[in-house]
A and B are shown apart, each in its own frame.
Chain A
């Protein structure tokens, strides 16, 4: 009998000790469903961010992370939002869709954030969209594809739309009398739908798409795609991707000796493009925000002051100039913070406040959001830049 009792005690003791090992102070494991509005009238305001800090999108995510850290420090030094401290919680999605979904779920259920910024690229942003919509949480993506915000009630974005970017490219091509274009695009969300948009926009300008190739952002060998582009015998080529892959594709394109002019997207608006492409970058034209050519802007440019200040702050903090992606994060943060100052953290009020953003002068352009337009930028937000001597210069058409 004694032995039997002891036998029962052992498992009980083991269980108790295992349970104790897990013990923390939190009992929030059942509390995620009701969102972050109720209990968060006091304590810090929580802003979550989901970024591509590692993996193929690291060229985008790291400067974005830097920017958000810098801005949240600045904000808290200045007393936070209406006297409340702001807590920034950054999650790395490792440049994957399911990483983004996991991070978003954690931000919603465990951290109960009031606003989410991210993700860096289209694919992870798309993966986040249904989650934040179900949780009814305002979210500002910093990726490009229009599908991220199309018809969404809760998701906004600060990167220029792919449609306006392509409009700038095709306008320029039309002015030069080109009629045939070949496309090599990113195989992930960022590149999806690009061929269709080119076909549609090109029809108005007498430009036809003769070949479409795709490449993975992780790819290092582009010979096959570039061989096919060469065979397409187009007047010009669009390479649509992010660095480093778009830069490597550029290098392969030049090596294989096609010799037709290349336009790239705003996905290469950073210095990393030149590292990946090397000399092959020379002469590439790409639409992008004004950040990288800030020193060449006319003094009366409405964005100049904001941009110069950001460059100065960022360079002081991190020792290098910011990329356009840092600018997208800047805009998302500033728009979000302004809306919280205005409306507090109630999700619906906050969303309405973001939708009311008007003539906000940011890094990537001047934003005017509406309930129908969650992107807020027009074609004016873009300039054309040309790669010359290892940097981007303002391109005069």
Chain B
């Protein structure tokens, strides 16, 4: 039982990283219908960047703040320089294009930071041992980041006028314009959000899961699997799906074989796509704005 709870706890913290990435993916997909393969690379970029800043002597919070802002700007830059340049950007083209972006980001990280994985110092806090279940304080930071940042994005998109207009801009550019958002601005905002959320995921997870140049792809893809569970539109379903995915992976690693862990997400992806492409949401129409 202790082991079961231990695996569940580990799965939830891993799942919170997937959830943040899923939130970023949905943020861009709803606005721009872009599947951003580079989403996970934002996380690695932020992690590695803040590690460098910390080792340059900056205090941890300052380093993290600078890294978050830089990655957010990088995401906007990518939108302006690459995504916005393509007319009639279909989702399929966006996948190939962002695959190129992702590859480029990885190569840059490899050249700048080298091939070794590095970790950020753990955030302040005491590790807990509850009934034999060890919970690292960093894992609480990760879940906290999901609640605050993921929840914030969710509320922004679902409750605010701007957020709603943003979501509408994909389907109804006119409606969005009425609120004063041009499709170009909407796209920039969406990428800024995606960059920020990805960066948050990267810095909170770095002390445990490390930041490494090649780590973003798989992470982003798992975020995507979670996003698909939400039909690529529902933040709530995607967050729940991401946490479930993390827990399921943890069980597979613990009870089946650790080597199969990374396959779990893709089995889920294929099964969900075939059985229920609209995601796990009960009424797919209801979540569309």
Which residues of A approach B to under 8 Å, CB–CB? 54-55, 58, 187, 213-216, 219-221, 223-225, 227-228, 230-231, 244, 248, 255-257
Contacts and interface: CB of A to CB of B under 8 A. Distances in A.
B117 A223 contact: no
A213 B253 CA distance: 10
B259 A214 contact: yes
Contacts, number: 58
Contact of A220 (B2, B10, B115, B209): B209
B263 to A, nearest CB: 12
B134 A244 contact: no
Contact of B6 (A213, A214, A215, A223): A223
Interface string B10-54: 100010000000000000000000000000000000000000000
B111 interface: no
| Interface of chain A: mostly helix, strand, loop or mixed | mixed
Nearest to A272: B116
A256 B134 contact: yes
Contacts of A213: 258
Given A248-B210, A255-B134, A225 B258 contact: yes
B136 A244 contact: no
B261 interface: yes
Interface string B205-248: 00011101001000000000000000000000000000000000
Interface of B: 2-3, 6-7, 10, 14, 115-117, 127, 129, 134, 136, 208-210, 212, 215, 250, 253-254, 257-259, 261
A231 B134 contact: no
A215 B258 CA distance: 7
B6 A227 contact: yes
A224 B208 contact: no
A230 B2 CA distance: 10
Contacts of A228: 3, 254
Contact of B254 (A216, A224, A257): A224
A165 B265 CA distance: 38
Contacts of A257: 129, 134
B85 to A, nearest CB: 33
A227 B116 contact: no
Contacts of A223: 6-7, 10, 250, 253
24 contacts: A54-B115, A55-B115, A187-B259, A214-B259, A216-B258, A216-B259, A219-B258, A220-B210, A220-B212, A220-B215, A223-B250, A224-B7, A224-B253, A225-B258, A227-B6, A227-B254, A228-B254, A231-B3, A244-B117, A248-B210, A255-B127, A255-B136, A256-B6, A256-B134
A213 B259 CA distance: 10
A182 to B, nearest CB: 13
Contacts of A231: 2-3
Contact of B3 (A219, A221, A227, A255): A227
Contacts of A255: 127, 134, 136
Contacts of B7: 223-224, 227
Nearest to B261: A224
B10 A244 contact: no
Contacts of B117: 220, 244
Contact of A58 (B2, B6, B115, B209): B115
A221 B134 CA distance: 15
A58 B7 CA distance: 31
Residue with the highest number of chain B CB atoms closer than 10 Å, among A213, A216, A224, A257: A224
Contacts of A227: 3, 6-7, 10, 254
Given A230-B3, A255-B134, A257-B134, A224 B258 contact: yes
Nearest to B114: A58
Nearest to B139: A223
Given A216-B259, A219-B258, A230-B3, A224 B134 contact: no
B10 A58 contact: no
Contact of B208 (A187, A221, A244): A221
B244 to A, nearest CB: 16
Contacts of A224: 7, 10, 250, 253-254, 258, 261
